[in-house]
């Protein structure tokens, strides 16, 4: 095995005993080349006895049928995930119809929407690693020949792909699909989860009102939004993190055409299950594995789609981690290169007015891919799990509907370049990620107001203590991967700022934002405060300038003054010393490399 550039970057060598290549265990020659380790002859009689007990009907099936694991991220307490068990059952039936054995199993999920703004959010990003660990563990321990994953919420998708990439056996991801829009009878308009979150800011600053009926109280309006923003199953409906990752993964070639934009409740989502059963057999016959799809070209394609559609800043974190797992070199600078040349053309929430359901109605993700391939922005030659190239997958797909307003034409973009800006400066020597749609301008200068944890800013907002009278750069620190721990999303704060109409405010953090966040926001500042990054010594009143046009984020503090401040700085005491978060904090890398835990 040759050393990759990634190995050199992280100090690994080709003969490193920490490599464990499960692909070397191939006693069989058919589609059951892994499972036949257990089922051939009588080498593992106890294993065969257990498989008969689990439902294998006879010796012919045991000896000849390949075994496919079906990993759903199902649990009942979240609309993104509540329906995934049913999708898994439909996949199981379809797999069995292809003369293969199908074994359903499950892994964990965390609801970002439910945990947002509380300590539960610290468990969200680390759930990505647990999901990847679970899929890798079951696939390799049980000698599955192939893997189908069914994620729904945003950390689910990269976690599933990272697990698939680690075991690198024929694999396909089915996205659980996005939710339909809600509807407010009081406001007489479509609403979604962001509506409820941003309404909270207006509620706090006493500006939540219904212009059509001034008699309605702010409590009446907020209660209505809470009850009706999420009408049923499916992931949050805008170009938030879940849909960003589903779109990227479809573009990477690991899910079927249309998977990312097909709504959760549509009949087509269930029909996708049957198509996946046929496709996984093609992958097994042709040995199409995740790492064959995950190439530098396919990742560049994913970045193009992310910029064109206005994807979440979390996409940067997750794509870096997925590429790192696949040992494909991808850096923050790659995101900037793509952002500089790809126009932002999607009028999708959170910054726009449409949802993924609207994109589905005008052609879906494949129609956008078709547009960008024709324009020479996407490389259509990359391989996919259908056995065809990306271009071949969308060749017969309908073009975007005439007259639609969801996706702008390339010569009339919302912004001539992408919305993701990678910033460097004396506040972020190793990089930071900004989401700048252009609506907020490209430059912001203000006085720093520092908060050492997200809850401190939330408390200040709840008390109406952030004034509208001067430009402020609100700084939330000690919320990075190690410092959080867990790098929690800060949608509660960013949504409150938008809802309150605080246009005089920018928000920066060594933590991260939800895909539903928008405004003048910068996250993923590295090094993070907990490990001694410069953000740790910013003081109230320091002047901070964010210049997206120059890709800079700086504080007006001299290098000598920064050194002086660090002389009296001490690393904070770890707030968590036992359990999964403590383990995560010890293992996790920095955000500029995807906050991975397996970089040795």
**The domain spanning residue 149 has which CATH number?**
3.40.50.2300
Say yes or no: 116 and 256 in one domain.
yes
CATH code (residue 447): 3.50.30.80
Say yes or no: 276 and 361 in one domain.
yes
Say yes or no: 90 and 175 in one domain.
yes
Say yes or no: 213 and 175 in one domain.
no
Model pTM above 0.85? yes
CB 378 within 8 A of CB 305: yes
Per-residue tens of pLDDT for the chain, all 600 residues: 344 444 444 444 445 443 344 444 445 558 999 999 999 999 999 999 999 999 999 999 999 999 999 999 999 999 999 999 999 999 999 999 999 999 999 999 999 989 988 899 999 999 999 999 999 999 999 999 999 999 999 999 999 999 999 999 999 999 999 999 999 999 999 999 889 888 888 888 888 999 889 899 999 999 999 999 999 999 999 999 999 999 999 999 999 999 999 999 999 999 999 999 999 999 999 999 999 999 999 999 999 999 999 999 999 999 999 999 999 999 999 999 999 999 999 999 988 999 999 999 999 999 999 999 999 999 999 999 999 999 999 999 999 999 999 999 999 999 999 999 999 999 999 999 998 887 778 999 999 999 999 999 999 988 889 998 899 999 999 999 999 999 999 888 887 887 888 889 999 999 998 866 677 899 999 999 999 999 999 999 999 999 999 999 999 999 999 999 999 999 999 889 999 999 999 999 999 999 999 864
Of 494, 542, 549, nearest to 522 (Cα)? 494
CB 67 within 8 A of CB 249: no
> Is 13 within a domain?
no
- 3-class SS at 343? coil
pLDDT computed for residue 2 by the predictor: 40
- Position of tokens 């680390």? 126
Say yes or no: 144 and 199 in one domain.
no
Q: Name the residue range of residue 275's domain.
A: 66-179+235-394
CB 264 within 8 A of CB 211: no
pLDDT computed for residue 29 by the predictor: 54
Q: Beta 101-106 vs 420-425: how paired, if at all? A: unpaired
Say yes or no: 110 and 245 in one domain.
yes
- Position of tokens 């996250």? 523
Q: How far apart are CA 13 and CA 32, in angstroms?
A: 31
DSSP state of 380: T
Rounded to the nearest 5°, which phi and psi values hold at 361? Answer: -65, -25
Catalogue the active-site residues. 514
CB 167 within 8 A of CB 344: no
Rounded to the nearest 5°, which phi and psi values hold at 108? Answer: -85, 165
> Is 536 within a domain?
yes
> Is 9 within a domain?
no
- Position of tokens 């079906």? 70
CB 272 within 8 A of CB 262: yes
pLDDT computed for residue 200 by the predictor: 83
Out of 394, 409, 437, pick the residue that ends a domain: 394
The total of other beta-carbon atoms located within 10 Å of residue 312's CB is 29
Out of 394, 429, 462, pick the residue that ends a domain: 394
Q: Count of domains in the chain? A: 3
CB 179 within 8 A of CB 79: yes
pLDDT computed for residue 146 by the predictor: 98
pLDDT computed for residue 516 by the predictor: 65
Dmax over CA atoms of the chain, in Å, equals 79
Distance between first and last Cα of the chain: 18
> Is 27 within a domain?
no
pLDDT computed for residue 10 by the predictor: 41
Say yes or no: 530 and 498 in one domain.
yes
Out of 360, 394, 428, pick the residue that ends a domain: 394
> Is 361 within a domain?
yes
pLDDT computed for residue 9 by the predictor: 41
Nearest-10 crossing angle of helices 314-325, 156-167:
10
The tokens describing 335, both together, are 């995101």
């Amino acid at each position: 095995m040759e050393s990759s550039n990634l190995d050199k970057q992280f100090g690994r060598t080709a003969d490193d005993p920490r490599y464990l290549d499960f692909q070397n265990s191939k006693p069989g020659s058919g589609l059951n080349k892994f499972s036949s380790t257990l089922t051939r002859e009588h080498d593992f009689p106890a294993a065969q006895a257990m498989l008969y007990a689990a439902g294998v009907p006879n010796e012919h099936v045991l000896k000849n049928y390949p075994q496919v694991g079906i990993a759903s991220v199902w649990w009942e307490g979240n609309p993104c995930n509540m329906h995934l068990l049913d999708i898994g059952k439909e996949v199981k039936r379809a797999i069995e119809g292809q003369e293969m054995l199908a074994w359903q199993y499950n892994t964990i999920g965390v609801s970002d929407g439910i945990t947002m703004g509380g300590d539960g959010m610290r468990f969200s990003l680390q759930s990505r690693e647990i999901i990847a660990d679970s899929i890798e563990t079951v696939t390799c321990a049980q000698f599955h020949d192939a893997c189908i994953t069914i994620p729904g919420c945003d950390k689910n998708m990269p976690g599933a792909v990272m697990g698939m990439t680690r075991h690198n056996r024929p694999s396909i991801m089915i996205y659980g699909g996005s939710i339909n829009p809600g509807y407010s009878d009081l406001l007489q308009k479509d609403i979604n989860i962001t509506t409820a979150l941003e309404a909270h800011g207006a509620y706090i600053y006493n500006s939540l009102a219904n212009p059509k009926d001034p008699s309605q109280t702010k409590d009446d309006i907020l209660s209505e939004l809470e009850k009706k923003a999420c009408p049923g199953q499916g992931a949050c409906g805008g170009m938030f993190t879940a849909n960003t990752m589903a779109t990227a993964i479809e573009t990477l070639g690991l899910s079927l055409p249309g998977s990312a934009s097909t709504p959760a409740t549509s009949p087509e989502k269930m029909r996708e299950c049957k198509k996946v059963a046929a496709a996984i057999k093609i992958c097994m016959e042709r040995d199409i594995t995740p790492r064959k799809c995950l190439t530098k070209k396919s990742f560049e394609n994913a970045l193009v789609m992310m910029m064109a559609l206005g994807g979440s800043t979390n996409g940067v974190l997750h794509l870096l981690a997925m590429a790192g797992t696949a040992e494909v070199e991808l850096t923050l600078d790659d995101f900037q290169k793509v952002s500089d040349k790809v126009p932002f053309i999607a009028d999708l929430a959170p910054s726009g007015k449409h949802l993924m359901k609207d994109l589905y109605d005008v052609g879906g993700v494949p129609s956008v891919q078709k547009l960008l391939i024709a324009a020479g922005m996407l490389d259509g030659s990359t391989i996919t799990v259908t056995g065809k190239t990306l271009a071949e997958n969308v060749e017969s797909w309908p073009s975007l509907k005439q007259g639609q307003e969801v996706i702008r034409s390339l010569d009339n973009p919302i912004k001539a370049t992408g919305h993701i800006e990678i910033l460097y400066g004396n506040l972020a020597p190793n990089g930071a990620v900004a989401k700048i749609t252009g609506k907020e301008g490209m430059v912001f200068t203000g006085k720093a107001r520092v908060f050492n944890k997200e809850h401190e800013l939330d408390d200040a907002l709840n008390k109406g203590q952030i004034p509208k009278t001067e430009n402020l750069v609100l700084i939330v620190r000690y919320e990075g991967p190690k410092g959080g721990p867990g790098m929690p999303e800060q949608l509660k704060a960013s949504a409150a700022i938008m809802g309150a109409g605080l246009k005089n405010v920018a928000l920066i953090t060594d933590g991260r934002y939800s895909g539903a966040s928008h405004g003048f926001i910068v996250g993923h500042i590295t090094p993070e405060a907990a490990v001694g990054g410069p953000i740790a010594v910013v003081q109230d009143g320091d002047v901070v300038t964010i210049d997206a046009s120059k890709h800079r984020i700086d504080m007006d503090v001299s290098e000598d003054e920064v050194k002086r401040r660090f002389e009296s700085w001490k690393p904070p005491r770890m707030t968590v010393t036992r359990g999964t978060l403590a383990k995560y904090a010890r293992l996790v890398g920095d955000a500029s490399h995807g906050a991975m835990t397996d970089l040795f």
